[in-house]
Structures are given as structure tokens and as C-alpha cells.
Structure 1
Amino acid sequence: MLLLRSVIFNLFFYLWTFVLLIVLIPAMIWPFGNPVLFIGRVWCHGNLWALRTICNLTVDYRGLEKVPLGAVLVAAKHQSAWETFAFFVPFPRPAYIYKRELSYIPLFGWAIWRAHQIPVDRGKKGEALASITAGARAALGRDQQVMIFPEGTRRAVDAPPDYKYGVTHLYSALGATCQPVAHNAGLFWPRRSFLRRPGTVIVECLDPIPPGLPPEIFAERLKTTIETATNRLVAEARAQARE
């Protein structure tokens, strides 16, 4: 049953994504506002509905009252592709930092460009930091939430943390409040896996970190905050599964 439900959901996911990419074609030339972000939110809620209906996978968003209004730097745990769409709920105007190679995908690449996402060329580290900083500053000026995964790539549940310097650089350069986010999505949507497991993903928005901390203090505080909460949420889900 798990395999069948996963197959049905994945078929829905790719079909739903394709349909919305077609809808994006006229939206990308719409002169008013930014309809691409609105369609991104539609994409998010359609996927969450399908996960709930097909896979019996629900979401518990916690701590939403802690999220500052408007522009903020969001640093989140990255365990799967799930959070790339599900974060539209707590952060409705996201500006993700993404691999530049994604820009070359037809339709999708055009859409993320139109949505003012922030590309990064990982092969040019010095130039990449300057480019990311400029893109993030522009996004904050548009009242978007700058989304960064501090470890740079998806990490398996229980893998040792591997935080990069990029998030600390952005925090110091932008002078922005940082919103840490922990979750346990990797238990239900594992990286490099076709299966979508039933249960409840818990996303927790933690206490914001105010601007102005020394870089080394910020880096340690961010890592400790996210990892402690992530381990707690993973343990909570595993305890519920045993029950």
C-alpha cells in the first residue's frame, strides 16, 4: 500500500507541476505584481492536499506567531524536496538561494527568475558570496523572505550537521533578523527516495535571532538552535510511530 500510494502521489506531483508551469507562461508577462509567487502558493497547497489525501501525510506548523512580519533571513534545516514547496505556508514571499543550473530548465528556470529567486554559482565561491549578498539585499528590499539552507544541500536524518559560512556572511552583511526553522520532513519524504510515508511532518519556527551579533556567536547559536529542535522533532515523530 505504501508503494502504491507513493506512485499515485508522485504521478500527481509531476502532473500538477507541469500544469502550473503551463499556467506560468502568461503569468510571467503579467505586468502587475508578481503572480509567479501566487502560483507558487497554489502549487504548495495542491501538493499538501495530495499528500494528506493520498499518502495520509499531514503537517503541523508550530511557532508561526514568532515569525517577523515582512522581510527576514530564514535559515532552515534541509532534509528533502518537501520543504521547497511546503515553506510557502509560513513564508508566502520566499526568495530561495538556488543552484544556477536550475535556471537552464525550460519554463521552470524562467519562473524562478521571474519570481526574483537568488541564483548561486557554486564553482566561483568569492563571486558567489558577493552575488548572493546583492540578490538577498534586493529581495529584502522587495519585502521577501530570503530562504537559505545553511548546510547547502539535503542532509539525511541523523547525519552530523555541516553548516557552511554562507548564512553567517549573509546575516552579518545584511544586518537582518534571522528566523531559524527546524523540521522532521526527512522521516516522511526521504532524500533520494520514491516513497512518501504517512504521519505528521512537524515544522517549528524557533525564536528569531536579532541582528548585530558577532559572526562566531551567531553561527554557534544558529547551529545549536536548529539542531537541538530538529533532534527533538525527529524523536517526537519516532515516539509517535512506536505508539
Structure 2
Amino acid sequence: MIFLRSFLFAIVLAIVTPPYAIFGVLTFPFPPRVRHRIITSWAPLVMWFVWHLLGIRYRVIGKENIPAGPSVILSKHQSAWETMALQVIFPPLCFVLKRELLRVPFFGWGLAQIPGIAIDRAAGKDALAQVVEQGRARLKEGFWVVVFPEGTRVAPGTARRYKIGGTWLAKRAGVPIVPVAHNAGEFWRRNAFLKQPGEIVVSIGPPIDVKGVKTEELNTRAEAWIEGEMRRLFPHHYTAEALAAVGPEIKAAESEDLG
């Protein structure tokens, strides 16, 4: 049954995504907010199939913590699920993403029309400058900015070094940081064809005020809240047995990063 559900979902994506991408390319004459509204209507549509076809539900804790104005979201990154779900949970937003994603047929073409922050990760310190320059522009346009501080998808129960780009942007733009924890990787694993039914819990933390606090300290506070919340809500991912089970997934992620 899980294989059949996952197979049908893959077919749905193959049918739905190309027309949306082509239509997205045709929206280039419209203002950024209009393009964003049109193209990102793809996300709630796909999320409907995620729920009704894959059997993956979600529950949000701390929705009252969402600030009134644009902010920088620092989120745990475990799967493709959160790239869709965050668009439904939060106000209009954009992502910091790898520039090469824009070259992916159909998906990347449509993505290129959504106001976002496309960076060259090989640019080193210049990549950080790209995040700040483009990120401040997006925030001024009224978009929230999502940053995955670990830089890549991580297996449940594990963590990687939190990079400073997201907090650096929030500090320079003078907007709050909103930390987010979730367990999407428990049901939708990295690069996995099979998706398991269940309930994903998304926890939104209290916004972190950037005023009067150094960037490094802001990064430490965000990491402490996210990783602490992960252990509070999902302690079963942090047992020795659970960590041993995701060993191959961790090695695969490391190899991909090195490549």
C-alpha cells in the first residue's frame, strides 16, 4: 500500500508540476507579489495530495509566535516536505537556495520566476554577501525569508553545524528570527521514494529579537532552541539505536556535500 501511494504521488507530481512551471514562466511581466501568488498556489495543491494520498498530516505548535511583519525563518531541514509546508503555514515567503536549482527542467524554470535568493555556494564569503543583499531586498518587498542553517537535509536525530547566513541577514535587516523545528524526515526521508503515513509536528518558537545581540550569539540562541525542541518533541530519534539506523543516510549526505 505504501509503495502504491508513493507511486501515485510521483505520477501526480509529474502531471501537475510541468504545467505550473510553464505557466510560471509566462508570469514574468507581472509584479513580484503577483508572480509569487500565482506560482506558489502549487504548494497547497500538492499538500492536499500529500495528506489525502500519502496519508501525511501535520500539526503546528506555536502559531501564535509568528510575528506581524516579515522575518527570517531558521528551520530544520530534513526533507522536501517542509519546502512546501512552510509556504502554507507562513505568510508569503521565499527561500535561500542553490543557484543550480534554477536550471532543473520545469521545476527550476518556474522557481526562477518566484522572488527568491539564489546563491552560488562555491563563492565563499561572497555567497554571504549575496544572501544579505538579495535577502534585504526580499524583506523590503514584504516577503519572509526561509534559511536552512545546516545547509542541507539532515537525518532525524542528527545535526550539522549551523551556518551564520540567516542570522547575519536578520541582524543586517533588523528583523526578528523565527526558529522552527519539525520531524518531517521521520515520514519523508532524504531522497526516499517511499513516504510513510503519519503526523508531522511543526513547532514555531518565540521570535528572537536581534537588537543589541551579536550575530554569533543570535545563531547560538536559534540553534539551542531548535535542537532543544527537537529533543523535547522527538526524543525517540536520539537513542543509540535510532542514530545507528540513520548512519547510511548521514554518510550519503556527507558524500553529496563533498561532491
Name the TM-score, length of structure 2 as normaliser.
0.85
Instruction: Specify the alignment match of 2:52 in structure 1.
Output: 53
Judged with a 3 Å threshold, the aligned counterparts in structure 2 of structure 1 residues 21 and 225 are, in CA distance, closer, same or farther, namely same
| 1:218 aligned onto 2:218 | yes
> Per the alignment, in what secondary structure is the counterpart of residue 96 of structure 1?
strand
- 1:33 Cα deviation from its structure 2 partner: 5.5
> Per the alignment, in what secondary structure is the counterpart of residue 145 of structure 2?
strand
Q: Which whole-Å CA distance do the structure 1 matches of 2:109 and 2:49 have between them?
A: 26
> Per the alignment, in what secondary structure is the counterpart of residue 34 of structure 1?
helix
In the comparison of the two structures, how many residue pairs are matched? 237
Deviations 1:36-68, CA, capped at 9 Å, x for gaps: 322344211112111111121111122122111
> Per the alignment, in what secondary structure is the counterpart of residue 41 of structure 2?
helix
Judged with a 3 Å threshold, the aligned counterparts in structure 2 of structure 1 residues 42 and 56 are, in CA distance, closer, same or farther, namely same
- 1:93 Cα deviation from its structure 2 partner: 1.4
Query: Is residue 25–residue 107 contact of structure 1 (8 Å, CA) maintained in 2?
Result: no
Deviations 1:174-196, CA, capped at 9 Å, x for gaps: 22210111110000100021111
Instruction: Specify the alignment match of 2:257 in structure 1.
Output: none
Once the two structures are overlaid, the 10-residue window that deviates more, 89-98 or 196-205, is 89-98
Query: Is residue 156–residue 237 contact of structure 2 (8 Å, CA) maintained in 1?
Result: no
Deviations 1:130-153, CA, capped at 9 Å, x for gaps: 111000000110010011000011
> Per the alignment, in what secondary structure is the counterpart of residue 122 of structure 2?
coil
Q: Unaligned 5+ residue runs, structure 2?
A: 239-259
Deviations 1:73-114, CA, capped at 9 Å, x for gaps: 110000011111111122231121000111223444343332
| 1:134 aligned onto 2:141 | no
| 1:17 aligned onto 2:8 | no
> Per the alignment, in what secondary structure is the counterpart of residue 87 of structure 2?
coil
Letter in 2 for 1:9: F
Name the TM-score, length of structure 1 as normaliser.
0.90
Instruction: Specify the alignment match of 1:181 in structure 2.
Output: 180
Deviations 1:193-234, CA, capped at 9 Å, x for gaps: 111111111111111101121223212211110011122333
- 1:237 Cα deviation from its structure 2 partner: 9.3
Letter in 1 for 2:86: F
Letter in 1 for 2:21: L
- 1:21 Cα deviation from its structure 2 partner: 1.3
Q: Which whole-Å CA distance do the structure 1 matches of 2:31 and 2:116 have between them?
A: 18
Instruction: Specify the alignment match of 1:167 in structure 2.
Output: 166
Alignment RMSD (CA, Å): 2.0
Judged with a 3 Å threshold, the aligned counterparts in structure 2 of structure 1 residues 118 and 19 are, in CA distance, closer, same or farther, namely same
Judged with a 3 Å threshold, the aligned counterparts in structure 2 of structure 1 residues 24 and 160 are, in CA distance, closer, same or farther, namely closer
Report sequence identity in percent. Answer: 34
